Amino acid sequence: MSEKELSSKSEQASFFSAVLHKLSDSQKLTASEAEEAFGAIVDGSIPPELIAAFLMALRVRGESTEELLGAVIALRSRMLPVPLAPIDTIDVCGTGGDKYGTLNVSTAVAFVLAGLGIPVAKHGNRAVSSQAGASDVLSALGVPLFSDPARLSQQLKTHNLVFMAAPHHHPAMRHAAPVRKALGIRTLFNLIGPMVNPAGVKRQLVGVFSPAWLAPMVDVLAKLGSECVWAVCGLPIIGGQGIDEVTLAGPTRIEALENGARKALILEAEMAGLKSAPISAIKGGDASFNAQALEALLHGEPGPYRDTVLLNAACALHVAGRKTIVRGTEIDTHALKNCIAEVSRPLDDGTALAVLNDLRKLSSDTHAENMTG
């Protein structure tokens, strides 16, 4: 390491120490302070025990919107991007950290949307606070995952679907990954993940573990140039823990950003003509269990898992700009039901399954790099 690099790391460590003192007094960081602190973490200048102290101090006091903004800017400035994504590309991703351990909903939604010809650049990772993250399940399904940006761009163009491994595009995150795994609880990094999409998508359906974070996440994405965002949080138990997806088990709160305007919406399964079901109906397991359930879904298996995926996919259809299910400040139930019918087709006619099988065939003669982290 050069003398200049050593000096830079020393300066970052000194700044980080000052930040910890500020947090110990329950003070909030400015966006620029948070950007510098998270930059120091991902640059490898901070030891694990201080990273843990920093994340826990934020968690106990309660993270702020400005701290989230600074963290996202820090990570975006250091990521390895996937270029040339179509302008209408969408991401469907959840924060995790809701502790429900459900089957993989947003990953299944991605196959449905791709089956409809909608480009999806899904950002994902291995499980941190659950049994099976998106990349765990994709590996179990036999889907090869790549790191080369040019290859990913071509895959998106050809198949309308690409899965981007967080460790491939945010290699600096390796400094925080062991700490996150050791803590095993939700931290600010859960919120950051869906907001640092390497393809630079401007349209996102983001599942959030708590309704308290719906507006702040939309605030940050709006400031960073997003065009259409639905931040959603299902409420299976009134007053209880939220779930990071649109749910059949109760109302779902939505904070929407569309054409520069903000809307707060409520969605329930019955509005889509679907039956309510408890969260236990889509309880997941390990990667193999979840992969089998996802493949059965793509073969047309009915049930609460399918209905949950349809409800989320219908919302994503709106976010992608293909349909409109909002009139004024309310959900248009007739339009929503039509969207449910449309997103059902890729599951019924095998189109979504064909996308999975096409991705499985990739790289028979090219090295595939599975997600790690």
Residue 298 to residues 100, 301, 312, 339, 357, Cα–Cα distance (Å): 23, 7, 15, 18, 11
> Binding site residues for anthranilate, as ranges?
94, 125, 180
Contacts of 235 (CB under 8 A, 6+ apart): 211, 242, 243, 247, 250, 251, 252, 253
Name the DSSP letter for residue 269.
Answer: G
Q: Match 């599975």 to its residue by tokens.
A: 370
Show Cβ contacts of residue 92 under 8 Å, excluding neighbours closer than 6 positions. 106, 109, 110, 113, 120, 122, 204, 205, 312, 316
Annotated binding-site residues for 5-phospho-alpha-D-ribose 1-diphosphate read: 94, 97-98, 102, 104-107, 122-130, 134
Determine what percent of the chain falls in helix, strand and coil, rounding each to the nearest 5. 50, 15, 35
Q: Which residues are annotated as a binding site?
A: 94, 97-98, 102, 104-107, 122-130, 134, 180, 244-245
Rounded CA-CA distance 369/333 in Å is 43
Binding residues for Mg(2+): 106, 244-245
Closest CA to 161 of 124, 131, 189: 124
Q: Fill in the amino acid letter for 154.
A: Q
- The number of beta carbons lying within 10 Å of the beta carbon of residue 263 is 15
Could you list the beta-strand ranges (E) of 90-245.
90-94, 120-124, 161-165, 203-207, 228-234
CA distance 340 to 307: 9
Sign of CA dihedral 29, 35, 36, 40: positive
Q: Give which of 215, 216, 207 is closest to 102, Cα–Cα.
A: 207
Give the length of the chain. 373
For helices 304-319 and 287-298, give the axis angle rounded to 10 degrees. Answer: 70
